[in-house]
Amino acid sequence: MLQLDFINVGYGDSILVQSFSQERTFRMLVDCGDGRPVVNLPGQRKISTLEFLQKRDIRELDLLILTHMHKDHIGGFAAVADTVAICEVWTGYLPEESLFRIYLSEAGKLPKENERILKPMYRVFQTLNQLREKGVPVRLMRGENRFSFSDLGFELIVTSAGETLFQTQNQAFEAISNGIGSDSLPFNIHSVMNDSSLRIRLCYGMQSVELPGDFCAAAWLESAIRPCTLLKLPHHGHADSMTEALFSQLSPAVTVISVSDDRVDDCPAKAVVDLIRRNGSELLFTGHAPEDFSETDGHESVRVMLNQDSIYWEV
């Protein structure tokens, strides 16, 4: 059996994947939330990734994957790595020390938006170095990578952004690290970061799970699209996360949106929520559904369980 917990970290992503067999238990964490102290309003049950793991006495992860470098995906990485044993790390981007030369020597002098991007990346850089010193393998994922876990009955397919987008992101990071304002770049740096997300496909018997980070619909439509059983909606359900054409090709039985229920903007976008419901997919939210803010519906995670020929969930 496979068990996926889409952790209610608020606005961010953190997904715990566990496989239970007679031989062993396998645990994989995809992203770590933003790492900020959790503040819950009445009825909310947001929780940090680390606290979620600690409450379940999870002391070791076989694999941790960082899809991309936005804080709401990597901000909690250091806290997890400081407390939980990690056997291996896969990432879509490896920060280099040279990227932080000006950031460290002239702290506070870079544009605020530049520092907002670079600060969590620097913490990731430090944490990855500490893990390497302990002998933990850290792998940069490029292209399409297939990994068979035959003893557990599943396969992981991890796909990175194309080379052109990868180089564009590198150029963007170098520019902002040298003090060039992100609004002066000839593209939206946050869109580039989102579309540089690793896309993870988990195949288990007749079931398949898509965990695409923040990889948005326009970029996905240019890639190979395969139907899936379970979809973690990219980019928290923003308007750019899904189109009718893409959703009809993916055709998931269940869709999960990882999003905070105290946002005041159109996130998840009503048009996207309507699209999913119109197409008959079961729609689950890590926070409250947009139309439901009762004090009894909060949960720490959306849990989805898969057998090789069936799927069920609980919230």
Q: Which of 56, 226, 239, 253 is nearest to 155 (CA)?
A: 226
Candidate from 5-9, 23-27, 251-255 with smallest mean pLDDT: 23-27
Mean pLDDT of 148-173: 94
Contact indicator for 62, 88 with CB cutoff of 8 Å: yes
Mean pLDDT confidence for 211-232? 93
Please report, as a single letter, which amino acid is at residue 139.
R
| pLDDT tens-place string over residues 262-274 | 776 788 999 999 9
CA pair distance 51, 300, nearest whole angstrom = 10
The dihedral built from the CA positions of residue 243, 209, 61 and 15, taken in this order, carries a sign that is: positive
The whole-number pLDDT of residue 136 equals 98
Place 194 in a pLDDT band, splitting at 50, 70 and 90.
very high
How many percent of the chain have pLDDT more than 70? 96
Look at the alpha carbons of 151, 59, 255, 227 in this order and tell me if their dihedral is positive or negative. negative
Closest-CA residue to 16 (of 26, 24, 28): 28
Instruction: Specify the range with the lowest mean pLDDT, choosing from 25-34, 189-198, 257-266.
Output: 257-266
- Whole-number average pLDDT of the chain: 92
Q: Give 22-56 pLDDT, tens digit per residue.
A: 788 999 999 999 998 888 888 789 999 999 999 99
Q: Any idea which of 99-108, 205-214, 244-253 has the lowest mean pLDDT?
A: 99-108
pLDDT in tens, 275-295: 999 999 999 999 866 665 444
Cα(309)–Cα(85) distance, rounded to whole angstroms? 32
The Cα 200–Cα 214 span in angstroms is 11
The pLDDT, as a whole number, for residue 292 is 57
Yes or no: say if 214 and 67 are a contact pair by the CB < 8 Å rule.
Answer: yes
Q: How far apart are CA 95 and CA 121, in angstroms?
A: 7
51: nearest Cα among 13, 11, 8: 8
Domains of the chain with CATH codes: 2-314 (3.60.15.10)
Which token pair is 155? 């396969």
**Amino acid residing at 177:** S
For residue 256, the model assigns a pLDDT of 97
Q: Which of 99-103, 145-149, 177-181, 241-245 has the lowest mean pLDDT?
A: 99-103
With a cut of 60, say whether residue 298 has pLDDT above it: yes
Q: Measured between alpha carbons, how far is 6 from 200 in angstroms, rounded to an integer?
A: 14
DSSP assignment letter at 97 = G
Return the pLDDT at 287: 85
Distance from C-alpha of 122 to C-alpha of 100, rounded to nearest angstrom: 7
Say whether pLDDT at 103 is over 70: yes
Tokens linked to 75: 């901000």
What is the pLDDT, as a whole number, of residue 107?
A: 66
pLDDT single digits (tens) 123-141: 999 999 999 999 999 999 9
What pLDDT, on a 0 to 100 scale, did the predictor assign at position 295?
A: 47
- Look at residue 293 in the predicted model and tell me its pLDDT: 47
